[in-house]
Amino acid sequence: LRKQEETGQLVQPVLFVLLVLVSVLLYFAVSLMDPGFILSDDSDLQFTLGVTEEQQDMIPPSTKSLRQRRCGHCLLQQPMRSKHCQTCQHCVRRYDHHCPWIENCVGERNHRWFVLYLAVQLLVLLWGLHIAW
């Protein structure tokens, strides 16, 4: 980096620093983001990803009720693909895992951001190894 700075080629060092800053910002975004916690039984009926309340009213109610199970820990009704996190003590929609590095669950609302964070981290790591090599 110093050689490039001395020769006036500042594009790569500036790009590397910006990539590190994006990585730090993504870390804070993913670690502070709500992964899709289930807060009450009422919110389960209203929450549908990508469907507004007006559109939800247009969908005719089905005669079959969706089978939902109750969480054994917090006693809330769990939608399909949700699970109780033992670390956070919350039920999480589309629970993937609890990541100790971000100290947060990875679930429905932050899964895309988590994958993007990992991709940026990998890019910074490989670029840093290339510079150090």
Q: From the CB of residue 82, how many other CB atoms can be counted at a distance below 10 Å?
A: 22
Task: Give CA–CA dist 46/24, Å, rounded.
Answer: 34
Question: Residue 91 is encoded by which pair of tokens?
Answer: 């039920």
Residue in this structure with the two tokens 């003590």, named with its chain if needed: 89
Least Cα distance to 125 among 26, 31, 16 occurs for: 16
Strands 90-92 and 83-85: antiparallel
Q: For residue 97, give the DSSP letter.
A: E
Catalytically annotated residue among 85, 91, 99, 105: 99
CA distances to 37, 39, 67 from 32, in Å: 13, 17, 31
To the query of whether residue 99 is one of the catalytic residues in this protein, the response is yes
| Catalytic sites, residue numbers | 99
